[in-house]
Structure 1
């Protein structure tokens, strides 16, 4: 009890989830920070906290609640609404909160023998003490690539973006397959989605993408050969665009935007 009280008395970042949304205050870094006793949350709301890690040398806690809290100056928002609005590392921590919450929710029973799983208190894992099977949060590796052809960049309208009633043109992406290198995945996904071949595939950076548990590994590449022929199961259209004549592209804070901007610099 003394250890719990000490933890509650310290300043920390509080990632409070309910029904797929996150508590956000309407000022500062949006994510609640401070001594939980001084924040506008009811007593006992943070009793089931889980340590996520640290941000700016302060602990970060995940708290899941049922229903909505009266959070005072703020409310519940989606994770996507934080893109480009908060520090990248803080966004990654918010994403981690969603992924950890999903892990515990979807691993209540053993996938090997069907018995009830139990959380392990020294790491993020669940264990079946009947057959000793242990599971960890799922991470799905995928590639995302921006492609240059002379002074043009390839941008595509994905089916899922049109469903949002806001057509955003972006780069190509896809999940890696078993036994496949990242570079081979880039070449395969590009050919499958738009029917062209690429060369000079180069890694740029990665971004955890918690929708729900991807790890996006970003690349740039150059056009090699072929004509655009879109896969209708994935794309509505794809075309080459000049830097001064772009459609709507992804918002700041996404790795897609970073790859597009890097490629556009090479197009000038």
Structure 2
């Protein structure tokens, strides 16, 4: 799971800005990264990092201050054109693979930057009366000058459930229920997930989504953790749940395939980049230690 980072969110920089910055610059929806050649192995695939954007910054359609990470100011920029100082090593990378290239603190901030820019882009007009909105200076909000409606960044909560059960016929003694959606890479499976509906608790959502997606019932829910998931604006909340009954019936159009897998013979699963990757691996370890329900 993710560890806390030394980041202080803010809407405006302090009176004394830091000498150096982290700048998350997006161009045509892609995050600009720069290849960093390895000094130890010239033939190794290059790592990628955030490119330096010296002042004055290139022309930007939008600029948002995010806060301070380890005494460095952090900004999100939506650029109007490729910066003049960009060389051949600068690349525009889609958000998901870009985040996977960055160390954890910068990975999390890249997701934050993308969500702030997306919120700003999609709230240029009032959702009540259609008037162009204005950005507020001291809080992350846009206000309608006509009807005074204010729009703040919104998240869509989504539950994730990893269902497990005992199986004395297996050497490991346990198996997991994993599923794949039509858009997954061949051979890859993950935990079940779905959005919370209005008026629904997280626990109600777990029971409903599991029943809808694979037709089984669960019990003994245990909270695992959460992760901001900027694809586009979700908050993933993960649980472990014990199988309580029912046979697998994949939901048509949503679940391409679902099955029970021995914890010692899992198919391809998500990397630890996502909470599902953490959830599956950590649950397997707990099951091997006989501690899944605590």
TM-score (norm: length of structure 2): 0.81
The Cα shift of 1:83 comes to: 4.4
1:266 maps to 286
Kindly tell me the number of residue pairs found equivalent between the two proteins.
Answer: 257
In the alignment, which of 18, 23, 26 is matched to residue 14 of structure 1?
Answer: 23
Rate the CA distance shift 1:83–1:221 in 2: closer, same or farther, 3 A.
farther
The Cα shift of 1:166 comes to: 3.8
The Cα shift of 1:201 comes to: 0.5
CA distance in 2, matches of 1:177, 1:23: 35
CA distance in 1, matches of 2:187, 2:124: 38
Q: Does 1:60 align with 2:74?
A: yes
1:104 maps to 120
CA distance in 2, matches of 1:66, 1:179: 41
2:143 maps to 127
CA distance in 2, matches of 1:82, 1:43: 21
CA distance in 2, matches of 1:83, 1:220: 26
1:77 maps to 93
2:106 maps to 90
In the alignment, which of 49, 53, 68 is matched to residue 30 of structure 1?
Answer: 49
1:205 maps to 225
Q: Does 1:222 align with 2:236?
A: no
CA distance in 1, matches of 2:108, 2:189: 24
Q: Is the 8 A contact 1:11 1:58 kept in 2?
A: yes
Q: Deviations over 1:189-227 (max 9, x none)?
A: 001000101111111111000000000011111111111
Larger relative contact order (Cα-Cα within 8 Å, sequence gap ≥ 6):
1
The Cα shift of 1:19 comes to: 1.2
Question: Which deviates further from its counterpart, 212-221 or 45-54?
Answer: 45-54
Rate the CA distance shift 1:211–1:14 in 2: closer, same or farther, 3 A.
same
Q: Is the 8 A contact 2:217 2:243 kept in 1?
A: yes
Runs of at least 4 residues of structure 1 off by over 6 A?
none
Q: Is the 8 A contact 1:84 1:251 kept in 2?
A: no
The Cα shift of 1:146 comes to: 1.1
1:152 maps to 175
Rate the CA distance shift 1:207–1:173 in 2: closer, same or farther, 3 A.
same
Rate the CA distance shift 1:47–1:223 in 2: closer, same or farther, 3 A.
closer
CA distance in 2, matches of 1:133, 1:105: 17
Q: Is the 8 A contact 1:198 1:222 kept in 2?
A: yes
Unaligned runs of 5+ residues in structure 2 are: 1-12, 37-46, 167-173, 289-294
Cα root mean square deviation, aligned: 2.3
Rate the CA distance shift 1:29–1:114 in 2: closer, same or farther, 3 A.
same
The Cα shift of 1:53 comes to: 1.8
Comparing both structures, which one devotes a greater share of its residues to helix?
1
| SS of aligned partner of 2:183 | helix
CA distance in 2, matches of 1:83, 1:167: 23
CA distance in 2, matches of 1:24, 1:93: 14
1:185 maps to 205
| SS of aligned partner of 1:260 | helix
The Cα shift of 1:18 comes to: 1.1
CA distance in 2, matches of 1:267, 1:241: 13
The Cα shift of 1:74 comes to: 2.5
Unaligned runs of 5+ residues in structure 1 are: none
CA distance in 1, matches of 2:24, 2:57: 16
